[in-house]
A and B are shown apart, each in its own frame.
Chain A
Amino acid sequence: MDAFPGEGEWLDGYRIDGRLHSGGMGQIYRVTAEVDPGFPLIMKVPRLGYGEPGEAITSYEQEQMVMSVLQGPHAPRYVGAGDLAKQPYLVLEFVEGFLLADWVEKAPLPPEEVARLGWALASALHALHQQEVIHLDVKPSNVIIRPGGEAVLIDFGLANHAHYPDLLAEELHQPVGSAPYISPEQVLGVRSDPRSDIFSLGAVLYELATGEFPFGSPTSPSGLRRRLHEEPVPPRAINPAIPEWLQEVILHCLEPDARLRYASASQVAFDLSHGAQVAVGERGKRMHRAGFATRFRAWFKAKGMEPARLVQPSAHLASAPIVLAAVATRHGNEFIFCHQRDVVGRLLAGPDHVRLAVVTVIPPGSEVGVDTEEDIATTQRIKHLVLLKHWAEPLRLPLDRISFHVLEGNDAAATILDYARANAVDHIVTGSAPPGLPLATVWGTFATKLVGESPCTVTLIRPTAAQLARAAREQDGPPDPR
């Protein structure tokens, strides 16, 4: 029989303050710790007694294993756990904020609100995937938005950590997440693909944007199997206020074949925060579901569907990085540009999941003699945008793999670093001081700060002295004959 603690009771140094939630898998309490960790706490107590599903205990163990190693603001902080042989429980941070489910009640939401919430959720999922964790139960009731706007995933009872044994695989009948949101490969029992979370993210975005589930809420196994080939009604057919780019992003997440989805959650986040630069294709424009013939082909293909197996989330992410090329449009010379482009080209020669963001930084605001401040800003921005696009042209990248950004800031290094952090950039490639640039110390400060504070790998383009000398000679032309 279950022995749940009562209000006011003490358990291993935690006082039970009151019950927050009671469900099939167990109970959740507010608790106070003898030793205050500095943030409010909850205690999750699994239901274990006779006749209860064995999944509850396995799921509890799985959650404990994952939570004890997860770090960062996108999961509740882990404080402790009870002895399984006596009284199992998990003590976690009580996350302040609103459930994403509260927003769903107000759906359809304005597109910019969908993009903001979606960006927060995608960024949170990327942070989990980078730590080898796949959540596998992404749905609005498992996401809390902190007052600052960050998303926090809760309930890791179905999660999988690639560095630890998947205990849930021991169960004969594995629980498989929530019907409206789960991915096709989860329907087939695959629990090792981070792109499953991207599919569920797409289902959440769809719901926020339209107020409807993309695939309904099937209850039967055959109903769930339709997920393998089903195509949702295009969001714009339900809510015409949705821009094409947002529909493109949503349907890109919801591709039945994981290989056709976004390769990483950070790329979804990137597109959600740069809507104007999303390359809109057929997916974004369609207003009807595909015709019968196409649907039949999809159904037939799904009959023999074998989900792609992946090694580990981090290994997969390594093949889908976001590369930032910081191009010094204000100081650069052609030689440095070429050199930097060669290096970037080599990075892009790998798997075609690599995305490139071409960035430059200009000082904010004013130049004398032009009309309004807004005009100046626009003129400046366009001028540098043209230079960026010119720089990237020889790379011949398709539009869905490249984007251009003219950032404003007085401190170039800080501006690039902020941008890299906000967009989960994996690799920065930055130019070096061109020959003869006055204020070489400014460059030195820039490089030192960028490398010292970078959240990711940095490549500094540094041509050899001989190359620089040759470039200078070529620029000057042949010496005058004497």
Chain B
Amino acid sequence: MRLALFADVHSNLEALSACLDHARKAGVDRHAFLGDLVGYGADPEAVLAIVDEHVRMGGLVVRGNHDEAAAVEERSAGMNGAATEAAGWTRRILTGSRRVWLMELPLTRREGDAFLVHGSASAPDQFAYVTDPRSASMSLQAAGDAPYVFCGHVHEPVLYHQGPTGRPQPFKPVPGVTIPVSRHRRWLAVVGSVGQPRDGNTAAAYAVADLEKGTLTFHRVPYDWAAAARKILDAGLPERLAVRLQKGE
């Protein structure tokens, strides 16, 4: 089974469409969305409609902190100004039933050898960041016996690998290279962000896991970020959110 992994779409329809198109050509069988479907971008309804459709066809989805903030006002406490503003804007746009749908998404999913979560498996509802070997180790430990943990939240692609004795080691994946990821060691993949990349590269990030063969491929897909940025400005969302897409940071 070839599983496409999309994290942090953040209401960016242009980026999501480009990644879906890329994944279709890559021959994926199934789609997984690793949280933060909305927030920041100007197309929450269109993005959620697409995700909903994939879920109906057997796709997988987990809830992110921005999804909660867009559904329930109290959940935006502690977010920065632009994020709070975008969450409020999204909340006004979405229908009541869409917001209920968002809040009913699970925080984690286990599918065969794969464990899906937005932040860290160690406390899925706290949305802790996995940014170093220590936090990666905690997430892997909490994920039970799943050899693969797939997550988002941190907007830069990283692959942590852990042998039977050592601590996880970070690896910066090279786009398009198919990496063998054998089941007898453990892997934690931060797949990068579809809708708001922050590593200085404007191209959307997503990954494809082949769980039968034991391989993982990180991809970068160029998309029309200018159109997505223009929509953000037209919607009256903070200018900073448009500039981020243009710089990829």
Contacts and interface: CB of A to CB of B under 8 A. Distances in A.
Interface stretch (A166-174, A339-347, A413-421): A166-174
B161 interface: yes
A164 B179 contact: yes
Contacts of B174: 162-163, 312
Contacts of A364: none
A164 B174 CA distance: 8
Contacts of A312: 174
Nearest to A68: B180
Contact of B179 (A61, A165, A170, A171): A165
Given A65-B180, A84-B182, A84-B184, A54 B163 contact: yes
B201 interface: no
B177 interface: yes
B169 A165 contact: yes
A170 B171 contact: no
Contacts of B80: none
Contact of A170 (B161, B177, B182, B184): B161
Nearest to A174: B166
Contacts of A165: 159, 161, 169, 171, 179
Contacts of B162: 170
A85 interface: yes
Given A84-B182, A84-B184, A170-B161, A164 B177 contact: yes
Nearest to A61: B182
B164 interface: yes
Contacts of B167: 170
B137 to A, nearest CB: 12
Contacts of B161: 165, 167, 170
Given A54-B164, A165-B161, A170 B169 contact: yes
Contacts of B163: 54, 58, 167, 170-171
Nearest to B166: A170
Contacts of B177: 163-164
18 contacts: A54-B164, A65-B180, A68-B180, A84-B182, A163-B177, A164-B177, A164-B179, A165-B169, A165-B171, A167-B163, A167-B185, A169-B169, A170-B161, A170-B167, A170-B169, A170-B185, A171-B166, A312-B174
A190 to B, nearest CB: 14
B97 interface: no
A77 B164 CA distance: 30
A171 B171 contact: no
Interface string A227-253: 000000000000000000000000000
Interface residues of B, number: 17
A54 B163 CA distance: 9
Interface string B169-197: 10100100101101011000000000000
B184 A171 contact: no
A68 B182 CA distance: 14
Question: Main SS of chain A's interface residues?
Answer: loop
Residue in B166, B180, B184 with the greatest tally of chain A CB atoms within 10 Å: B166
B165 A171 contact: yes
Given A163-B177, A164-B177, A165-B159, A172 B165 contact: yes
Interface in A165-211: 165-167, 169-172
B140 to A, nearest CB: 13
B94 to A, nearest CB: 40
Interface in A23-60: 54, 58
Contacts of A68: 180
Contacts of A169: 169
A172 B165 CA distance: 8
Interface string B151-164: 00000000101111
B235 to A, nearest CB: 39
A46 to B, nearest CB: 13
Given A164-B179, A170-B163, 10 more contacts: A163-B179, A164-B171, A165-B159, A165-B179, A166-B169, A167-B161, A170-B166, A170-B167, A170-B185, A171-B165
A42 B118 CA distance: 46
Contacts of B169: 165-166, 169-170
A358 B63 CA distance: 63
B168 to A, nearest CB: 8
A164 B187 CA distance: 13
For the complex of A and B, 5 pairs with smallest distance between CB atoms: A170-B163, A170-B166, A165-B171, A163-B177, A165-B161
Given A163-B177, A166-B171, A85 B184 contact: yes
A58 B174 CA distance: 22
